[in-house]
A and B are shown apart, each in its own frame.
Chain A
Amino acid sequence: MKVRLLLALILFVTFAPLGLRAQGYSTQTSNAILIQNATILTITHGNIEHGSILIRDGKIAAVGTEVKASDGATVIDAQGQYVMPGIIDCHSHIAVDGSVNEGSISVSSMANIADVLNPDDISIYDDLSGGVTTANILHGSANPIGGQTIVIKLRWGKPASELPFQGALPGIKFALGENPKRSNFSPPPGVEPRYPATRMGVEETIREAFIEAREYKKQWDDYNRKKAAGDQNLLPPRRNEKLEPLVEVMEGKRYVHAHSYRADEILMLIRVANEFGFKVRTFQHVLEGYKIADEIAASGAGGSTFSDWWAYKMEAFDAIPYNAALMTERGVVVSVNSDDAEEARHLNQEAAKSMKYGGLSANDALKLVTLNPAIQLGIDNRVGSIEVGKDADLAIFNRDPLSVYAVVQKTLIDGQVYFDREKDIAARPALEKEKQDLLAKEKKASEEKKASEKPDANPEKKPDQKKKHPQNSEDNAGAVAEGGR
């Protein structure tokens, strides 16, 4: 009996995971996975040829050439393939329900991306296919102070509550320059333009909001102090959803991600941040960052930029593809981001461009989309490199990811395979069939409906017996059915 049970258990453990893998990506019973025989790009400890990674309970348990699988571990043979940390996209607008901008007012910090996460957005899957595992989902750039932002892991198939990156600090989006001042479009006739219309106004909007926030914090601190001291009859201040995130910024509990282009506006925000006692966490786009790289480095802010976008607006006209490399040279922590669901599918290629434009080494180029964005988002203790103890967020490529020819084979998050190219291809016929079947079913139903809606040859017109007429019923007034009296 016990032997049979043991046998059953062994069989189950051995075969069940294979069966489930064949079905879908995100279900796994075995919690141990071994990725073997790959070139491992650890980012922090060099590259390992013919190496293996053991994953247990969603974390990297071991990395090296001598790593062996425990019994029951699912084995992914990555012979000839490259494993790098899952790509982290520091500027993304995917997975948002509705508009990414609450652009109606100059300060929209009450709006929160976390309220509107959409786990069904196909862009999540698209980005997984490019090896992205974590994304910084940002509010748009319609206002000097925009809405609150959140870091998510691209756990495709899970509900919205399981997307947020646990433990990552929340953020807030600021925007400087042309977008918040709306220089590139005008409101429809009859509608008043929204403040601000100049870079001066952008600064003023931010300063005023923080002055208000300071005042708000003081009110609450006073109230709390008095209350703790036992004061009775205190009128509590109102809660203000707009100002609270700004208080959190000043208290260092919320990161500021500032969309910015021109060198002078970047310096402006550093000044303003200083005035209110906080640090900008990242400058986003920061296309002229190379002009003031030293100042940015000194401020401690990171720079999250494009690889080679330029000239689409005036403030992008001085953008250069050497931006990432030059800022890196001067000590800024730099990441390369997508700002676009499609661009996010090839951030490995975008990172590689900094080898050509500015001579970054291969590892430094990879850092632009792994460790550096992790540092910028304050999650480098969890992700961004392949090290024991970190989350098993990995991207497996068929060749060196810095090559234009590299194609993602698998993407894992917390040790679960969320994207598998082979499985995706294999699943296509079944999905197509399901679609055709549903279309045929609908077509049939609509044809049946049309047929039944044709006017009847014999309308169901029962004889007048069923008709009740008021006058008629008076004759029958007081009728008693059987069983009545």
Chain B
Amino acid sequence: MNKALRLRVARYQAVALLLLLLSTFPLWSQRAANLYAIKNAKIYTLAGPPIERGVVVIRDGKIAAVGTDIAVPEGAQVIDAAGLEVYPGMFDPVTQIGLNEVGEVSATVDTNELGDFNPELIAATAVNPASAHIPVTRASGITEVISAPGVGGFDSQSSGIIAGQASAFNLAGWTMEEMQINPSVAMVLNWPSIQTSSFDFSTLSMKEKPYEDAKKEYDKAVNQLSDWLTRARHYAQAKEKGSPDLFVRDLKLEALVPVVEGKLPVLVVADQARDIRNAIDFCTKQNIKMILASGAESWKVKDVLKEKKIPVVLGPSERLPEQEDTAYDKPMTQPSELNAAGIQFAFSSFGTSFSRRLPQYAGTAVGYGLSHDEALKAVMLNAAQIFGLADQLGTIESGKLANLIVTTGDPLEIQTEVRYLFIKGQLTSTDNRHKDLYQQYRKRPAPAR
């Protein structure tokens, strides 16, 4: 061949090679989709002092590296977070997200099953991954939640005594299989209370009951609860050591076995001091692990909570005091009181549509005395610790799940926006129903006159 021809062939070969390389580009971006680097950011790891300017590397769903002297790996999607801050995603540990879409429309609500004792029910079974609440909530920086059946909230009543198992999941994924963190993190126990007045639906008024009668009903409920646990113990023994021929499977008792074996905590929902004390008494006698949820009057029983090392998942700190004579600011000062007493606690919303207020609840508590650091932990880390998920979540440390938020500032402040959202190491859009409707109607032309 002559020189001119060889040159042309080489050019064609180069183009072909280029085309070949280009054709593999989709493969490049696939690899790149699992690899991110957030650089130039102020990083609040919650595992040490904040890093003024650092890098976080995310690979295959996990935090691969975090620090100051970290090289941005090749092929990583880079996010320049100059002027922004990086935090672990927030964790709302008591919600009904996915179980409750529109409160008044019962067809969309799966929180409350019939019957008082439903230990075998698991929230994750009924969570709707397509719930509009999921994109709305995560846009505010909440990356994972626990959904609990039967706990009650803004637009639902609590129901049942043992309402079922609460499930932890990430707020991103096409199916529960993709979202799931742990389908069973706690057994919901609505502590029965002595009800001297109740709402009578046939007359739509409050009906009074003598204390003695109400106490009897309460005792009965507690005895029933006790019976269930006793039977669960027998069941566990029978299952483990008994003859298979004589063994009859019981889903409800089976579900209680981890509880009586101390492996699955009970999430006890109680607000009044007497109920909390009674519940603690009960759990101590039964030798089961207790987490207190809601806990409006925890401050009255600090001594016992501390002594028995019972963690508290507080309901919204923005609520009215339980009693008329309680200090007006008690719900807001309680978190700092518990903190000062060395009681482990986390914030929660007990809601669906109000889950995005989680940072607001924490921020309010800071205004009334809780330290900012503790408040951050109480919305990002403590819930993970309380529910046994701290190996996966809660801090920005290598090896943990990459649930992170990149914000325009202090995540507890109202005006702060989440610029970038990482769930399970995927950059997740903050678009949601509300943003969509906003943009849609912003574009509405002026109506004809």
A404 touches B105 (CB 8 A): no
Is B25 among interface residues, defined by CB-CB distance under 8 A? no
Give the chain B neighbours of A329 by CB distance below 8 A.
Answer: 442
Q: Which of A311, A342, A349 is B360 in contact with, Cβ under 8 Å? A: A349
Give the chain B neighbours of A184 by CB distance below 8 A.
Answer: 104
Is B201 among interface residues, defined by CB-CB distance under 8 A? yes
A356 touches B416 (CB 8 A): yes
Is B437 among interface residues, defined by CB-CB distance under 8 A? yes
Interface residues of B in 115-155 (CB under 8 A from A): 132-133, 154-155
Is A326 among interface residues, defined by CB-CB distance under 8 A? yes
Q: Which of A126, A294, A407 is B368 in contact with, Cβ under 8 Å? A: A407
B328 touches A313 (CB 8 A): no
A424 touches B447 (CB 8 A): no
Give the chain A neighbours of B101 by CB distance below 8 A.
Answer: 311
B103 touches A311 (CB 8 A): yes
B363 touches A308 (CB 8 A): no
Is B60 among interface residues, defined by CB-CB distance under 8 A? no
Q: Which of A125, A291, A317, A402 is B441 in contact with, Cβ under 8 Å? A: A291
The residue in B103, B328, B356, B359 that gathers the most chain A C-beta atoms within 10 A of its C-beta is B328
Interface residues of B in 278-324 (CB under 8 A from A): 318-320, 324
> How far is A404 from B359 in the complex, measured between Cα atoms in Å?
9
The stretch that binds A, out of B241-249, B256-264, B407-415, is B407-415
A424 touches B438 (CB 8 A): no
Report A181-204 CB contacts with B as 1/0, cut-off 8 Å.
Answer: 000100010000000000000000
Give the chain A neighbours of B328 by CB distance below 8 A.
Answer: 125-126, 129, 424
> How far is A286 from B411 in the complex, measured between Cα atoms in Å?
29
Interface residues of B in 415-449 (CB under 8 A from A): 415-417, 433-434, 437-438, 441-442, 444, 446-447
Report B82-116 CB contacts with A as 1/0, cut-off 8 Å.
Answer: 00000000000000000001111100000000000
Is B367 among interface residues, defined by CB-CB distance under 8 A? yes
A428 touches B417 (CB 8 A): no
> How far is A342 from B315 in the complex, measured between Cα atoms in Å?
14
B367 touches A407 (CB 8 A): yes
Nearest B residue (CB) for A325: B438
Interface residues of B in 193-241 (CB under 8 A from A): 201-204
Q: Which of A178, A342, A352, A421 is B320 in contact with, Cβ under 8 Å? A: A342
B438 touches A326 (CB 8 A): yes
Q: Are A322 and B414 also in contact (CB < 8 A) when A312-B154, A407-B367 are?
A: no
A291 touches B444 (CB 8 A): yes
Q: Are A352 and B438 also in contact (CB < 8 A) when A178-B104, A312-B154, A345-B318 are?
A: no
Q: Which of A313, A353, A425, A428 is B105 in contact with, Cβ under 8 Å? A: A313
Tally of contacts, chain A with chain B, CB under 8 A: 116
| Min CB–CB distance A309 → chain B (angstroms) | 7
> How far is A123 from B320 in the complex, measured between Cα atoms in Å?
9
Report A350-361 CB contacts with B as 1/0, cut-off 8 Å.
Answer: 001101111000
B318 touches A122 (CB 8 A): no
Interface residues of A in 266-296 (CB under 8 A from B): 290-295
Is B403 among interface residues, defined by CB-CB distance under 8 A? no
Give the chain B neighbours of A358 by CB distance below 8 A.
Answer: 438
Interface residues of A in 426-448 (CB under 8 A from B): 428, 431, 435
A356 touches B415 (CB 8 A): yes
Interface residues of B in 164-217 (CB under 8 A from A): 201-204
Interface residues of A in 96-129 (CB under 8 A from B): 122-123, 125-126, 129
> How far is A308 from B412 in the complex, measured between Cα atoms in Å?
16
Is B80 among interface residues, defined by CB-CB distance under 8 A? no
> How far is A403 from B446 in the complex, measured between Cα atoms in Å?
35
> How far is A317 from B31 in the complex, measured between Cα atoms in Å?
39
Give the chain B neighbours of A320 by CB distance below 8 A.
Answer: 433-434, 437-438
Is B353 among interface residues, defined by CB-CB distance under 8 A? yes
The residue in A129, A320, A342 that gathers the most chain B C-beta atoms within 10 A of its C-beta is A320
> How far is A317 from B434 in the complex, measured between Cα atoms in Å?
10
Q: Are A404 and B434 also in contact (CB < 8 A) when A311-B133, A326-B442 are?
A: no
B415 touches A355 (CB 8 A): yes
> How far is A312 from B103 in the complex, measured between Cα atoms in Å?
4
B434 touches A322 (CB 8 A): yes
Is B352 among interface residues, defined by CB-CB distance under 8 A? yes
Give the chain B neighbours of A352 by CB distance below 8 A.
Answer: 414-415
B319 touches A311 (CB 8 A): no
B320 touches A312 (CB 8 A): no
> How far is A353 from B413 in the complex, measured between Cα atoms in Å?
10
Is A310 among interface residues, defined by CB-CB distance under 8 A? yes
B104 touches A294 (CB 8 A): no
Give the chain B neighbours of A402 by CB distance below 8 A.
Answer: 414-415
Q: Which of B363, B434, B446 is A405 in contact with, Cβ under 8 Å? A: B363
| Min CB–CB distance B87 → chain A (angstroms) | 16
- The 3 A-B pairs with the shortest beta carbon distances in the complex, nearest first, are A404-B363, A322-B438, A313-B104
- Could you jot down 17 A-B contacts, CB within 8 Å? A126-B320, A126-B328, A188-B203, A291-B441, A294-B444, A313-B105, A317-B102, A352-B415, A355-B415, A356-B414, A356-B417, A358-B438, A402-B414, A403-B413, A404-B360, A404-B364, A405-B366
Besides A309-B354, A342-B319, A404-B367, 6 other A-B contacts (C-beta < 8 A): A290-B437, A311-B353, A404-B413, A407-B368, A424-B328, A435-B325
